[in-house]
């Protein structure tokens, strides 16, 4: 057994949520430590792999809190926990300012308004992984440096396993380090382990039956430890069946050069998604995140193909920052092409008659504005459908990629973990991808993983510091 250690604030995880909490805690005078499973200086986490765009539901983080709150509520169909949504809306601007003071360099990565606060240097606009020495990688290094300057500790190779509870209060963490148990006592603990996108068992339990046929579009280091620890301590959990993710070429299951980009979302939303029978199976109008979730719930998430025509491929196909047209082919992805729908079906291995009938019905419904009569009905919430009528026609076999879980540990506006009766568990906080309650709604609205991680990392540390200083004043 290693020597016991005491800190005022301990975070479980050294992604943006954990490091923001730790640095802010240290800035406020707390003795802080980050427990991090990764062993290397450049330990993997989703934060390191991020595109680096700080946004609030695809809006500029510096808009007024009223506008940001409205944007979150529109995205999530009003289902976001209003305390959490208001916290993000109120703090998004000051959070990027605080990050800038810690060494974050921001750049306007594209003319799109909500790309104004992108960590510099941004990733290259090409398919495949590109994170080394990019903005998020550099900022993690800066945060670590600030933490250590303020006498905080980053304990690498240290995997938290359980929380210590005394009379209902969390008083520490038991972890594994170098094959030994490490007992860390703490005034407050912040769970910031990133959620459970990398845990096949939890995926099967809450999301869909075939995690092996869903692409892991993340670093693989968030495996649900925090969720388990919180639940053991009596925490409530919320919305575990939803996740944030994107549609990618099916070849990305094997070809690393095809993920995390290009995404096929915009093409699928403008066109149709069919299964191996050539039939539509979901509402494309709800957009890429919703389509991705729908596929992940199927018995065979790898059954889907996007069908579009030349005008869609030349517009929606080029719409993203790293567009599938031309990046898909450039990175070795499959793009079937033919001059008739029947010939396309033959090439793509789909039943020609069925596919022709599906495309005919789709075109007819678009032309006569009868989208609700389609089976399944087609909405226009996140994009209007286009007719598929101008050759050449294209077929893109796709897969569902999970980036991070949307649901998780229930927290209040200070990041305090809530029990099932709604009261906070003393001494326990959570931040970032491990938390739930903010995202979701009918079209699975996204708020932004980076802003969520950093806002609640700061809030948790500030609340914990307030509690700690109050205790010190009482003891004086």
What Rg do the C-alpha atoms of the chain give, in angstroms? 23
For the CB of residue 42, give the shortest distance to ligand FAD in the complex, in Å. Answer: 11
For the CB of residue 404, give the shortest distance to ligand FAD in the complex, in Å. Answer: 5
Pick the piece of the chain touching ligand FAD (CB under 6 A) from 43-51, 141-149, 291-299, 313-321.
43-51
Residue 182 lies near ligand FAD (rule: CB under 6 A) = no
Per the listing, tokens 């790293």 go with 322
Instruction: Note whether 424 and 236 are within 8 A (CB).
Output: no
Pick the piece of the chain touching ligand FAD (CB under 6 A) from 144-152, 330-338, 443-451, 459-467.
443-451
Residue 25 lies near ligand FAD (rule: CB under 6 A) = no
Instruction: Note whether 184 and 172 are within 8 A (CB).
Output: yes
Closest CA to 320 of 132, 75, 58: 58
Q: How far is it, in rounded angstroms, from Cα 321 to Cα 304?
A: 24
Residue 405 lies near ligand FAD (rule: CB under 6 A) = no
Instruction: Note whether 304 and 398 are within 8 A (CB).
Output: yes
User: Could you tell me how many residues of this chain bind ligand FAD (CB under 6 A)?
Assistant: 40
Pairing assessment for the beta strands 117-119 and 305-309 based on DSSP bridges? unpaired
Please identify, using beta-carbon distances, which residue of 50 and 308 lies nearer to ligand FAD: 50
Among 8, 22, 31, 52, binds ligand FAD (CB under 6 A): 52
Among 144, 210, 218, 459, binds ligand FAD (CB under 6 A): 218
Contacts with ligand FAD in 257-276 (CB under 6 A)? 260
Residue 49 lies near ligand FAD (rule: CB under 6 A) = yes
Among 76, 221, 292, 325, binds ligand FAD (CB under 6 A): 221
Instruction: Note whether 290 and 77 are within 8 A (CB).
Output: no
For 450-467, b/e burial (b = at least 16 CB within 10 A) is bbbbbbbbbbbbbbbbeb
Site string for ligand FAD, 326-365 (x = CB under 6 A): ----------------------------------------
- Find the distance separating the first CA and the last CA of the chain, reported in whole Å: 34
Q: How far is it, in rounded angstroms, from Cα 258 to Cα 126?
A: 10
> Given phi > 0 = left and psi -120 to 50 = alpha, else beta, which region is 112?
beta
For the CB of residue 285, give the shortest distance to ligand FAD in the complex, in Å. Answer: 24
For the CB of residue 275, give the shortest distance to ligand FAD in the complex, in Å. Answer: 27
Among 22, 192, 286, 443, binds ligand FAD (CB under 6 A): 192
Contacts with ligand FAD in 223-242 (CB under 6 A)? 225
Q: How far is it, in rounded angstroms, from Cα 159 to Cα 225?
A: 9
Closest CA to 396 of 335, 320, 313: 335
**By the criterion CB under 6 A, which residues form the site for ligand FAD?**
12-18, 35-38, 43, 45-47, 49-53, 159-160, 192-194, 217-218, 221-222, 225, 260, 403-404, 432-433, 448-451, 453
């Amino acid at each position: 057994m290693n020597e016991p250690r005491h800190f005022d604030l301990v975070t479980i995880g050294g992604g943006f949520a954990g490091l923001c909490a730790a640095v802010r805690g240290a800035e406020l005078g707390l003795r802080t430590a980050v427990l991090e499973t990764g062993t290397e200086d450049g330990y993997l986490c989703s934060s390191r792999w991020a595109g680096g765009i700080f946004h609030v539901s695809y809006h500029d983080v510096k808009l007024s809190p009223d506008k940001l709150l409205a944007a979150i509520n529109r995205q999530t169909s009003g289902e976001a926990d209003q305390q959490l949504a208001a916290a993000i809306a109120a703090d998004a601007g000051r959070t990027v300012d605080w990050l800038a003071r810690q060494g974050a360099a921001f750049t306007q990565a594209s003319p799109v308004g909500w790309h104004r606060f992108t960590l510099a240097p941004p990733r290259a606009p090409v398919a495949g992984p590109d994170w080394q020495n990019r903005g998020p990688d550099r900022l993690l290094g800066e945060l670590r440096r600030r933490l250590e300057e303020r006498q905080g500790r980053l304990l690498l190779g240290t995997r938290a396993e359980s929380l210590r509870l005394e009379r209902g209060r969390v008083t520490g963490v038991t972890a594994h380090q170098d094959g030994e148990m490490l007992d860390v006592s703490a005034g407050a603990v912040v769970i910031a382990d990133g959620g459970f996108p990398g845990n096949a068992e939890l995926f099967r339990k809450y999301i869909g039956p075939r995690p092996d046929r869903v692409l892991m579009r993340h670093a693989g280091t968030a495996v649900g430890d925090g969720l388990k620890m919180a639940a053991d301590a009596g925490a409530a959990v919320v919305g575990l069946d939803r996740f944030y993710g994107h549609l990618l070429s099916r070849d990305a299951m094997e070809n690393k050069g095809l993920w995390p980009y290009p995404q096929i979302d915009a093409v699928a939303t403008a066109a149709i998604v069919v299964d191996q029978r050539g039939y539509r199976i979901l509402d494309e109008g709800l957009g890429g995140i919703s389509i991705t979730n729908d596929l992940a719930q199927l018995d065979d998430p790898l059954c889907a193909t996007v069908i579009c025509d030349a005008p869609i491929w030349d517009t929606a196909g080029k719409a993203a920052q790293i567009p599938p047209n031309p990046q898909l082919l450039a990175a070795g992805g499959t793009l079937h092409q033919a001059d008739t729908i029947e010939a396309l079906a033959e090439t793509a291995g789909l039943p020609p008659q069925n596919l022709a009938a599906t495309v005919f019905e789709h075109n007819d419904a678009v032309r006569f504005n009868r989208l609700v009569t389609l089976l399944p009905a087609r909405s226009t919430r996140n994009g209007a459908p286009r007719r598929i009528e101008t050759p050449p026609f294209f077929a893109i076999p796709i897969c569902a990629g999970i980036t991070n879980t949307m649901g998780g540990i229930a927290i209040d506006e200070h990041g305090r973990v809530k029990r099932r009766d709604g009261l906070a568990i003393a001494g326990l906080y959570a931040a970032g991808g491990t938390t739930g309650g903010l995202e979701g709604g009918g079209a699975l609205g996204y708020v932004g993983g980076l802003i969520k991680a950093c806002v609640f990392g700061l809030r948790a540390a500030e609340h914990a510091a307030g509690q700690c200083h109050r205790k010190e004043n009482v003891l004086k």
